[in-house]
Structures are given as structure tokens and as C-alpha cells.
Amino acid sequence: MVARPVAVGPAGPRSCYPLGLVDRLIALLVVVATISFSVAEPAAAQGSRLDEARTLFDEARAAFEAGDYLAALERFERVYELTGSPELLYNIGVSADRAGQPAKAVDAYERYLLALPDAPDRADVEARIAALVPPNSRGWM
């Protein structure tokens, strides 16, 4: 199976989203960003932040696909700061997980599940959290 930043499961490469959903997630990111920016910022600033989010998202995907998980993590975090799109928490979690940062991965995965309680990959994400946290050791990180 082909690994994608938004479709790489906590336990390893898998296709958790059907083809086309990545495009829909990107479109959702654009919609969320547009709505959130339109409330508080002038049009020029909105466009600039949206362009930055798009560019960073593309860079994050490329870094992830190249195996540069720290770079992907940094960029996904910045896109999340710009947009607040909860789907990005999953990307942050996977990138942190792959970068060897279990505390950050668990935090992002848990925030993802809180933000999207009906996430289609909930069971997989919960299983990955359980694998990252040693038994009887909440607060170990």
C-alpha cells in the first residue's frame, strides 16, 4: 500500500482513507481556513495566511514522504496553528510518532480523538496510543 501523510496509520503504512479523501481533506482545510480568517482579518492577510497554510501543508506532505518526519511535524504544527483543522492533529501525531517523540504523538492523537469523536480510524488511533503508553504508566512522558 502507498503511504500518505494523512493516510499513514499509527501502526505503520496503511490506507485509512479512500482515494479522493485526501483531496477532500485539503478542501476542508481550505474551507476552515477561509472561514476562520474571514472573521478577524482583512482580505489581504487572509489570503496570505491561507497561501502559507497551503504551502506548508504541501511541504509537510513532501517531507513526510521523504522520511523527514521532524520537518513534517514542524510544518503540520504550523498549518494547525494557522487553520485549527482537527484532522491535522492526526498528521501531527503520526509525524511525531515516526520522529520518535511518543509524548507529542500521544498528545496529538488524544486531541485528535477529542476533536473528532466519530473519527473513522478511532480504534486504530486508540490502539496506537495504547502501544505508545506503557501499561500502568500514564504520566510517564
Residue 66 included in any domain: yes
Kindly state the helix (H) or strand (E) to which residue 12 belongs, with its residue range.
Answer: strand 12-13
Nearest to 61, CA basis, from 14, 108, 27, 94 = 94
* Whole-angstrom distance, CA of residue 141 vs CA of residue 107: 10
Q: Which three cell numbers stand for residue 9?
A: 496509520
Contacts of residue 121, defined as CB under 8 A and 6 or more positions apart, other chains included, come to 9, 16, 90
pLDDT band at 85 (very low <50, low <70, confident <90, very high): very high
Residue 95 included in any domain: yes
Length of the chain: 141
Count of domains for the chain? 1
Residue 140 included in any domain: no
Residue 16 included in any domain: yes
**9: containing domain:** 5-132
* Whole-angstrom distance, CA of residue 122 vs CA of residue 23: 21
Residue 141 included in any domain: no
Residue 11 pLDDT exceeds 80: no
Residue 137 included in any domain: no
13: helix, coil or strand? strand
Residue 138 included in any domain: no
CA 32, 36, 41 angle in degrees (round to 5)?
140
Residue 90 included in any domain: yes
Whichever domain contains 13, its CATH number is 1.25.40.10
The reported pTM is 0.68
For residue 128, the model assigns a pLDDT of: 97
